[in-house]
Amino acid sequence: MAEPITFYFDFSSPYGYLAAHRIDPIARQHGRDVIWRPILLGAVFKLTGAKPLKDWPIKWDYVRREVARTARLHKIPFALPEPFPFAAVAASRAFYRLEENDGAQAKAFALATYGGAFAEGLDMSQPGNVARVATAVGADGAALLRDIEQPHWKDRLRAETDQAIARGVFGSPFFLVDGEPFWGAERLLELDSWLTSGGW
Amino acid sequence: MAEPITFYFDFSSPYGYLAAHRIDPIARQHGRDVIWRPILLGAVFKLTGAKPLKDWPIKWDYVRREVARTARLHKIPFALPEPFPFAAVAASRAFYRLEENDGAQAKAFALATYGGAFAEGLDMSQPGNVARVATAVGADGAALLRDIEQPHWKDRLRAETDQAIARGVFGSPFFLVDGEPFWGAERLLELDSWLTSGGW
């Protein structure tokens, strides 16, 4: 099987949410796996001087409309959560903890976390909601919340974010295909063509 | 004929350059005209707090690569001019002056200005280069340079930029289709689908 695609995202990113529904089916058509990598965009923004979508005047009005429009196109439910953006620290650490034992469960957890935030409007910065989502996909939510307080999982998330930055990631979603970077949910069609043609 | 599409762009925008080669053929397939509207993004960025592509650490490395890759995909010649970004004041005023008499000539001038910057690497902030490009598309370049020093054409560019901002434009390229906004060269496929389906 060809090299897997790496999918970087922040759980608080609406474009990451949209991409999370689409990347695995696209990759599968090309015989590729996808490695999911939640990161904290806040740490990235400190380096680049970028700011959350909501903090851009004029642009934010467009982005709200555009995300909802793209969700309609792909028939993905969408509603902006409150608060937005939210700190996805607990959910991101939990992802890596779950992935250690069961990659499929970790992806199911990630999709359910995104769904909690952007389909059900839950505040997924709350550890209680993270535990509930984890339990719903078959994990032990209470044990998970204890685990992610260990330095190991805090360090892991920090290391993954640092590695993303070292690889040139500056936004969400961000894909790496055989070293080729693609930024943004709206570049999935280009990524698909890239996989079909082997690049250009 | 249905309402024309409005295409806002800055002559210093590489994504605007890529879109300029693609928007009219797409619009024509749907029986639409395109109204081209050069603006000064610098004025927009003052309001939004955005900054030129080159001034974003990490992101700029990606953007350079991405623009070149998209140019290869669409077989559009591309090289980054020096200096970049450049102040497109003279070229933008000249566009509106030419359009007053001959819309087709103004579009030819805009494409040639973009080509001067992003295919030939000319410094299109220089009025001399603007005059040469204008002469090459059949206009009187010397007269044009005199005309655009008149307050009328300075005011016109300012008014067009202000109107763009009032319509929610915050970047380049930016398209308005029956009031629906599309931002970015990579959203032309979505814009095409929108025209085909009548929206979703």
pLDDT, tens digit (0-9, with 9 covering 90-100), for B15-59: 999 999 999 999 999 999 999 999 999 999 999 889 999 999 899
Pick among A63, A66, A75 to test the B interface (most B CBs inside 10 A): A66
E-strand stretches of B39-139: none
DSSP state letter for B180? E
CB atoms within 10 A of CB B53: 18
Closest CA of chain B from A4, distance in Å: 21
Q: Residue B125: what pLDDT? A: 98
Pick among A41, A44, A59, A190 to test the B interface (most B CBs inside 10 A): A59
Closest CA of chain B from A105, distance in Å: 32
pLDDT at B1 over 80: no
DSSP chain A: -PPPEEEEE-TT-HHHHHHHTTHHHHHHHTT--EEEEE--HHHHHHHH----GGGSTTHHHHHHHHHHHHHHHTT------SSSS---HHHHHHHHHHHHH-HHHHHHHHHHHHHHHHTS---TTSHHHHHHHHHHTTS-HHHHHHHTTSHHHHHHHHHHHHHHHHTT--SSSEEEETTEEEESGGGHHHHHHHHHHT--
Average pLDDT, chain B: 96
pTM of the predicted model, to two decimals?
Answer: 0.95
pLDDT in tens, B146-162: 999 999 999 999 999 99
ipTM of the complex: 0.93
A187 in contact with B, Cβ within 8 Å: yes
CB atoms within 10 A of CB B85: 20
Q: Burial, A97: exposed, middle or buried (Cβ in 10 Å; 0-12, 13-18, 19+)?
A: buried
> In this prediction, what percent of chain B has a pLDDT beyond 90?
96
Q: Residue A99: what pLDDT? A: 98
A200 vs B contacts (CB less than 8 Å): 69, 72-73
Contact A61 B168 (CB under 8 A): yes
A59 in contact with B, Cβ within 8 Å: yes
A171 in contact with B, Cβ within 8 Å: yes
Distances (CA, A) of B37 to A38, A122, B9: 40, 42, 6
List per-residue pLDDT tens for chain A, 200 residues long.
Answer: 699 999 999 999 999 999 999 999 999 999 999 999 999 999 999 998 899 999 998 999 999 999 999 999 999 999 999 999 999 999 999 999 999 999 999 999 999 999 999 999 999 999 999 999 999 999 999 999 999 999 999 999 999 999 999 999 999 999 999 999 999 999 999 999 999 999 99
Q: Residue A49: what pLDDT? A: 87
pLDDT in tens, B167-176: 999 999 999 9
Please name which of B160, B186, B191, B163 lies closest in space to residue B32, comparing C-alpha atoms. Answer: B191
Q: Determine the residue of chain B that is closest to A48 in CA distance.
A: B57
Give the bridge partners for B8, in sequence order. Answer: B37, B174
Residues 6+ apart with CB under 8 A from B11: B38, B86, B88, B91, B92, B110, B113, B114, B117, B124
Could you give the CA distance from residue B102 to residue A171 in angstroms, rounded to a whole number? 43
Q: Residue B174: what pLDDT? A: 98
Could you give the CA distance from residue B194 to residue B16 in angstroms, rounded to a whole number? 20
Q: Determine the residue of chain A that is closest to B165 in CA distance.
A: A58
B171 in contact with A, Cβ within 8 Å: yes
